[in-house]
A and B are shown apart, each in its own frame.
Chain A
Amino acid sequence: MNFKDIRVLYWREIRSALRDRTIVTNSILLPILLYPTIMWLVYTGITFVSGQNEELKSRIMLKEIPAAHEILKKEFEGDKSIVLVHSPDPAADLRNATLDAIVEFVPPKSIQAIDNDFATRISYDESRDASNRARSRAGQKISRYRENYLERQALKLGLTRAQFQNFSIDERDVSTGREVSAFVIVLPIFFIIMLAVGGMHPAIDSTAGERENSTWETVMTTATSRANVLVAKYLYVATMSFTAGFLNLFAMIFCMGTLLAPLFGNNSSLRIPIQSSPVVLIGAVLLALFVAAGMMILASFARNYKEGQSMISPFYIALIVPVMFLQTPGLEFTPRIALIPVANVMMMIRDAFQGVYHWRSIGITLAVETACVVLALRVAMLVIQHEDFMMGSYSGGFGKFVKERWATKRHKDHKNPL
């Protein structure tokens, strides 16, 4: 292997790739812009919907409000999102959707301990958004009023708020930011998708694309070995795949730390610990090497870009399927899980995001992924030695190739049993 030649070939590939709009979009721009765009869209959507809700008025009827609580009626009247209405047949109006909620004041269920105690019943139509909204608005208003009222009554009896609220729930978080939200669990899935998307176009471009442009023959007549050509192409695809994954990780860490966390009250579970970086980086490199090898093997059988895309698609799906395991609740990163390629790296990264490191499983993962990469490269070397394949005259995919090789081997074994 000649590293000088590999370097020349590698930079040729990179230079060409950086001038290709599709590759730049899929391997660089998309991973960077995906999260900010998604978050901007979600934020805009939420703002829009809540703005719409603010503008919608709830039609509420107050029924039999006690004289002692007339002030509550005034609070309802003062709320711009509520319109108080009077109806002779409120039940019918509620059914006909001309009324959104009925608030009835009823005597309290228990014996009255304080003066003018009251209870309310809110009638609404669960099937209508407007009615649900009216229920929520009325409920909040009454709860707030009732709490203040009870506090005032308690003070009259010489009780402070702390004294009459002696039953309370005190929550204490001991996780020190290790537990993660469901969103963080989904991140590795996006990560693998980005790695695959980032490697897909370069893999097709460097194999089927070369055939389509008729540059394959050109490079095969240069004074370097085929192994050098293969290694350079492989490193190029792996670089683009890794770049897409790394940029995506960087973008997600940035978005979560600077955009999402402040929105959710500086929730520490939305920040990814910096200590996880080495494990995440190693995982990203291994995955990129594996994805690049798999995609290149498949794409190299294609004679044009379109064929390349259809040949890679099954591999793309096969990559995503094991990652779906991640969503299984309570799934632990055990040594057995570490034997499953791709899913093992995803589990390793997911745990690292939580600050958890199962070193034995990590060791098995590294060994399994390295073995997969070596195996894939061995297959790629076998494929590239095939003359039909070299000339681009091979009509068939990887499956047919393996079948033919197997048949040839069996034929030879049959001829020479010893």
Chain B
Amino acid sequence: MHAPVVVRNLRKIFYDEGRGEVKAVDSVSFECHEGEVFGLLGANGAGKTTTLRMLSTILTPTSGTATIMGHDVVSSAQGVRKNLGFYSATTALYPRLTTRETIDFFARINQYPADLVEQRVEYLIDRFGLAKYADARIEKLSSGMKQKVSVARTIAHNPSILIFDEPTVGLDVLNALDVQETISELRSEGKTIIFSTHIMSEAQRLCDRIAIIHGGHILACDTLSGLRDTTQQHYLEDIFVLYVKAGQETV
């Protein structure tokens, strides 16, 4: 049986007027198993977002392959997006729609069965405690509420795979904890989650397996205990620094 997410030698090269060719992601390979939170841990500019954008079909890989639930990200982009929920800290909502309209729109456009949409919308409003704000426009909501609506719209079509690209960036501690809790709940529902972050404590708390990414390369990929055994370091921060330094020396 295939893993829900399979990435093989994925590369992305951008052309920059000043710098010429820039390898944002270079030969990245990994697999995500069903019902796990797979963490992509890396500093800013490591290649996390580019990798996730290729997986969510926003960007086309320069080479390599990636499949989501058996759909290729290049040849079957719509199939990928149907099975995928993409959440990013920079991913905003339509300010002039209400909470209910937002969830309804994303459920319908992501091919959730039309006759079940209303039911799904009510369920999500209830689940995230949005009943009081269901008919309020997004622009009137607090950032915490917006965050909840954003998560609700990500899972509006009940996808099997969820991508959370640095979801807690810019959030206060309480809202960040809320997002983390939601991710844990979604894992317990059997969702496969790819979670990118540069915050060690988050990765340590949430991820079943962690891939350390730097300079577009994956330097290590294992469970936290596996990484500890290999490096003989206890703290994830130390493990991360060790791999990044070793990676830089290799380069």
Q: Which residues of A contact B (CB under 8 A)?
A: 5, 8-9, 12, 15-16, 19-20, 213-215, 217-218, 220-225, 387, 390-391
A390 CA to B58 CA, complexed, in Å: 8
Question: Which listed residue (B58, B90, B93, B101) contacts A221, Cβ 8 A?
Answer: B58
Given A217-B86, A221-B84, 14 new contacts (CB under 8 A) = A8-B109, A12-B101, A16-B96, A20-B96, A213-B92, A215-B93, A218-B86, A218-B93, A220-B58, A221-B57, A221-B58, A223-B81, A223-B111, A224-B81
Contacts A8-B105, A15-B101, A223-B157 given; indicate if A217 touches B58 (C-beta within 8 A): yes
Q: How far is the CA of A357 from the CA of B16 in the complex (A)?
A: 56
List the interface of chain B (C-beta within 8 A of A). Answer: 56-60, 78, 81-82, 84, 86, 88, 90-97, 101, 105-106, 108-111, 137, 153, 157
- Complex formed: what's the CA distance from A391 to B58 in Å? 8
Would you call B81 and A222 a contact (CB within 8 A)? yes
Given contacts A221-B81, A391-B59, contact A214 B90 (CB under 8 A): yes
Distance between Cα atoms of A5 and B109 in the complex (Å):
6
Task: Tell me whether A214 and B105 are in contact in the complex, defined as CB-CB below 8 angstroms, given that A16-B97, A221-B58 are known contacts.
Answer: no
Q: Which A residues are in CB contact (< 8 Å) with B95?
A: 213
Determine the chain B residues whose CB is within 8 A of the CB of A391 once the complex forms.
58-59
A218 touches B92 (CB 8 A): yes
Identify the interface centre among A8, A15, A217, A222: most chain B CB within 10 Å of its CB.
A222
Whether B92 lies near A222 (C-beta < 8 A) is no
Q: Is the CB of B86 within 8 A of A221?
A: yes
- B144 CB to closest chain A CB (Å) equals 18
| Shortest CB distance A139–B (Å) | 64
A224, B91: Cβ atoms closer than 8 Å: no
Which residues on the A side are within 8 Å of B94 (C-beta)?
Answer: 12, 16, 213, 215
Please name the 3 residue pairs, one residue from A and one from B, whose CB atoms are nearest each other, closest first. Answer: A214-B92, A223-B82, A221-B86
7 A-B residue pairs with CB within 8 Å = A8-B108, A20-B96, A218-B86, A218-B153, A223-B157, A224-B109, A391-B58
Main secondary structure of the interface of A (DSSP, over half): helix
Complex Cα distance, B102 from A15, in Å, reads 11
Bound Cα distance A218, B111 (Å): 15
In Å, the complex CA distance between A15 and B97 comes to: 8
Tell me the nearest residue of chain B to A213, going by C-beta. B92
A391 to B54: give the CA distance in the assembly, Å: 12
Closest A-chain residue to B153, C-beta based? Answer: A218
Complexed CA–CA distance, A350 and B203 (Å): 69
A221 to B106 Cα, complex, angstroms: 10
A387–B15 Cα distance when bound, in Å, is: 11
Residue of A nearest to B150 (CB): A218
| Complex Cα spacing A224 to B91, Å | 17
Chain A residues with CB under 8 A of B96: 15-16, 19-20
Whole-angstrom CA separation of A390 from B111 in the bound complex: 23
Q: Which residue of B lies closest to A214 (CB)?
A: B92
Query: Nearest chain-B residue to A393 (Cβ)?
Result: B14
Kindly report which residue of chain A lies nearest to residue B110, judged by CB atoms.
A223
Q: Which residue of B lies closest to A13 (CB)?
A: B94
A193–B57 Cα distance when bound, in Å, is 40
Q: How far is the CB of A151 from chain B (nearest CB, A)?
A: 74
Instruction: Pick the most buried of B94, B108, B109: most chain A CB atoms within 10 A of its CB.
Output: B109
Residues in A whose Cβ lies below 8 Å from that of B57: 221
Chain B residues near A12 (CB, 8 Å)?
A: 94, 97, 101, 105, 109
Smallest beta-carbon distance B116→chain A, Å: 15
B81 proximity list for chain A (CB < 8 A): 221-224
CA distance A8 to B86 in the complex (A): 19
Instruction: Give the Cβ gap from A12 to chain B, nearest Cβ, in Å.
Output: 5
Name A222's closest neighbour in chain B (CB-CB): B109
Closest to A390 in B: B58
**Could you say which residues of chain A place their CB within 8 Å of the CB of B60?**
387
B232 to chain A, nearest CB (A): 40
Which residues of A lie under 8 Å from residue B153 when comparing CB positions?
218
B94 CB to closest chain A CB (Å) equals 6
- Given the known interface contacts A223-B81, A223-B82, the answer about A9 and B109 at a Cβ–Cβ threshold of 8 Å is yes
A-chain residues with CB within 8 Å of residue B93 when the two chains form the complex = 215, 218
